[in-house]
């Protein structure tokens, strides 16, 4: 399929081929699902909403509920205000959510619909019932990425729900980045082990990884409760796990409720998890329990035991900046050599962070790092400088097949495998799960390519 990708790289300004991202509303829809009893609402055409729902459903293998303003030609010309008002009326009458989270699309952004005014009018004339909530954010698909959309909705949750509380509280807010429900569950588990008082939002655990009970629930038991989110304005600190997807919510919470914030990486790998655990311990004055220290020791032991398979293996990695950054650091600490590191989300800070990370680890080899890049460019880089391993989402499999590179699926979306959203990459245990997958993938290739007369031993 990719036989004709040239290795000669030409500069491109107005063309993306297989972009390493998708559009803002998908991220906004995912963040909205992290609020309990919330129905995401796509203010645009029916087709947009269907695509966003299906993309999330294919990744998480769970039904994703969302409503739409169902724009037609009339709304495209005269504006979508009447459509949104009618949608809200129908939603509360038929589906009865606790909260509706409205995000825009290309069409409604191009028209210039004034969401705050439309929603305010709907509240005043009781289209929105008493005790119910409608929040919103702007997510034009033609800028940013799904990570930007997640960030905008997380900030929208703060703007519309959080309330200032002057009471002194030794409690933290944790705003996780765009990551799977299993990672959010693992982060909460670590906090509970430390006996931390915390509020996490958005939180998709218990929403997109629900058990089979033979009973359908449109609004599953999981998700951050509205009452808890409102109390977040009285916490002592917000930990924003991911600059691109969570910092905006931290900034908004500080501006609105005077809650200071710290930006940390998602706790993926040894060092990023260390920083997260230390931040919680220092802020709340809590000791790190033996169970967490033992998990860390097991991960370090695994990295030591299998160093012969990891050391100086060249890696290409692509995905969202908030996951690629800690993953790159994890690979460096495992003795591997990230050679090509790209993200489809714009932001020069990505390249600066990777550069500083490389210097911190004392690596002076040549590598390629780019933001707002695409998979065509990544393939060209790999053709010029081959690697031993490719890490990224499902769309990397075509490059892996063409260049015969072992491929580890990581990030969003993963459409052609199962289980990824149930097994965390976060925390020390998540690091063990991930690095074992890397090692086993490399060993699989060794098994396939070892001549019969030099067959590998049964024990690696």
pLDDT for position 317: 98
For residues 12 and 279, which has the higher predicted lDDT (pLDDT)?
279
CB contact set of 269 (below 8 Å; sequence gap of 6+): 326, 327, 329, 330, 333, 431
What is the Cα–Cα distance from 247 to 187, expressed in whole angstroms?
18
Q: What is the mean pLDDT of residues 352-362?
A: 92
pLDDT for position 362: 83
pLDDT in tens, 62-90: 999 999 999 988 877 788 899 999 999 99
What is the Cα–Cα distance from 268 to 133, expressed in whole angstroms?
34
pLDDT in tens, 244-274: 999 999 999 999 999 999 999 999 999 999 9
pLDDT in tens, 87-111: 999 999 999 999 999 999 998 998 9
Cβ atoms of 292 and 194 closer than 8 Å: yes
> What letters, b where the CB count within 10 A reaches 16 and e where it falls short, cover 312-351?
ebbbbbbbbbbbbbbbbbbbbbbbbbbbbbbbbbbbeebb
Q: Which of 156, 80, 92, 157 minimizes the C-alpha distance to 126? A: 92
Cβ atoms of 161 and 38 closer than 8 Å: no
Cβ atoms of 71 and 104 closer than 8 Å: no
Q: What is the mean pLDDT of residues 16-21?
A: 89
What is the Cα–Cα distance from 217 to 39, expressed in whole angstroms?
12
Assign domain 172-288 to a CATH class: alpha beta
pLDDT for position 451: 80
Handedness of CA 416, 18, 65, 163 (dihedral sign): positive
Count of other CB atoms within 10 angstroms of residue 384: 12
Look up the pTM and report it: 0.95
What is the Cα–Cα distance from 420 to 409, expressed in whole angstroms?
9
Domain spans, the chain: 24-161, 172-288, 294-453
Q: Architecture of 24-161 per CATH?
A: 3-Layer(aba) Sandwich (3.40)
What is the Cα–Cα distance from 375 to 118, expressed in whole angstroms?
40
Per mean pLDDT, which range of 125-139, 295-309, 344-358, 439-453 is the poorest? 439-453
SS (H, E, C) the chain: CCCCCCCCCCCCCCCCCCECCCCHHHHHHHHHCCECCEEEEEECCHHHHHHHHHHHHHHHCCCCCCEECCCCHHHHHHCCHHHHHHHHHHHHHHCCCCEEEEEECHHHHHHCCCHHHHHHHHHHCCCCCCCCEEEEECCCCCCCCHHHHHHHHHHHHHHHHCCCCCCCCCCEEEEECCCCHHHHHHHHHHHHHCCCCEEECCCCCCCCCCCCCCCCCCCCCCCECHHHHHHHHHCCEEEEECHHHHHHHHHHHHHHHCCCEEEECCCECHHHHHHHHHHHHHHHCCCCCHHHHHHHHHHHHHHHHCHHHHCCCEEEEEECHHHHHHHHHHHHHCCCEEEEEEECCCCCHHHHHHHHHHHHCCCCCCCEEECCCEHHHHHHHHHHCCCCEEEECHHHHHHHHHHCCCEEECCCCCCCCCCCCCCCCEHHHHHHHHHHHHHHHHHHHHHHHCCHHHCCCCCC
pLDDT tier for residue 278 given thresholds of 50, 70 and 90: very high
Domains 172-288 and 294-453 share a fold: yes
Does residue 148 carry a pLDDT above 90?
A: yes
pLDDT for position 232: 96
What is the Cα–Cα distance from 212 to 26, expressed in whole angstroms?
25
Count of other CB atoms within 10 angstroms of residue 281: 15
Span 294-453: which CATH code? 3.40.50.1980
What is the Cα–Cα distance from 183 to 203, expressed in whole angstroms?
10
pLDDT for position 12: 83
Does residue 455 carry a pLDDT above 70?
A: no
């Amino acid at each position: 399929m990719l036989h004709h990708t040239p290795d000669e790289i030409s500069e491109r300004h107005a063309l993306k081929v297989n972009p390493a991202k998708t559009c803002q509303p998908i991220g906004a829809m995912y963040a909205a699902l992290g609020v309990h009893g919330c129905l995401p609402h796509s203010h645009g055409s029916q087709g947009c909403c269907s695509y966003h729902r299906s993309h999330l459903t294919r990744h998480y293998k769970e039904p994703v509920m969302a409503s739409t303003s169902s724009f037609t030609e009339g709304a495209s010309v005269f504006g979508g205000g009447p459509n949104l008002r009618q949608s809200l009326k129908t939603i509360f009458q038929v589906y009865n959510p606790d909260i509706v989270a409205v995000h825009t699309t290309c069409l409604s952004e191009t028209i210039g619909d004034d969401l705050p005014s439309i929603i305010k009018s709907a509240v005043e004339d009781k289209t929105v019932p008493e005790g119910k909530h409608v929040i919103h954010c702007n997510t034009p698909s033609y800028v940013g990425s799904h990570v930007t959309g997640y960030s905008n909705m997380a900030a929208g949750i703060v703007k519309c729900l959080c309330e200032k509380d002057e009471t002194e509280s030794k409690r933290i807010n944790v705003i996780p980045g765009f990551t799977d429900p299993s990672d959010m569950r693992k982060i909460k588990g670590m906090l509970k082990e430390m006996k931390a008082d915390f509020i996490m939002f958005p939180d998709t655990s218990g929403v997109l990884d629900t058990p089979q009970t033979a009973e359908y629930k449109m609004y599953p038991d999981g998700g951050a409760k509205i009452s808890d989110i409102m109390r977040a304005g009285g916490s002592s600190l917000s930990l924003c796990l991911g600059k691109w997807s969570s910092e905006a919510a931290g900034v908004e919470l500080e501006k609105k409720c005077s809650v200071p914030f710290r930006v940390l990486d998602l706790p993926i790998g040894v060092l990023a998890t260390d920083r997260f655990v230390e931040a919680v311990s220092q802020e709340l004055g809590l000791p790190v329990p033996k169970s967490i220290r033992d998990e860390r020791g097991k991960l370090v032991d695994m990295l030591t035991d299998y160093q012969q398979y990891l050391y100086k293996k060249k890696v290409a990695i692509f995905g969202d900046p908030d996951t690629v950054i800690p993953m790159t650091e994890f690979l460096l600490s495992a003795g591997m050599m990230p050679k090509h590191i790209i993200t489809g989300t714009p932001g020069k800070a990505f390249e600066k962070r990777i550069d500083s990370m490389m210097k911190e680890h004392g690596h002076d080899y040549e590598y390629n790092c780019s933001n707002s890049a695409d998979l065509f460019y990544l393939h060209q880089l790999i053709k010029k400088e081959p690697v031993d391993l490719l890490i990224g989402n499902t769309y990397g499999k075509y490059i892996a097949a063409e260049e015969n590179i072992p491929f580890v699926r990581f990030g969003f979306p993963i459409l052609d495998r199962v289980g990824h959203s149930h097994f965390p990459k976060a925390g020390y245990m998540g690091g063990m799960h991930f690095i074992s997958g890397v090692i086993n993938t490399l060993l699989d290739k060794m098994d396939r390519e070892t001549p019969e007369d030099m067959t590998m031993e049964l024990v690696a």
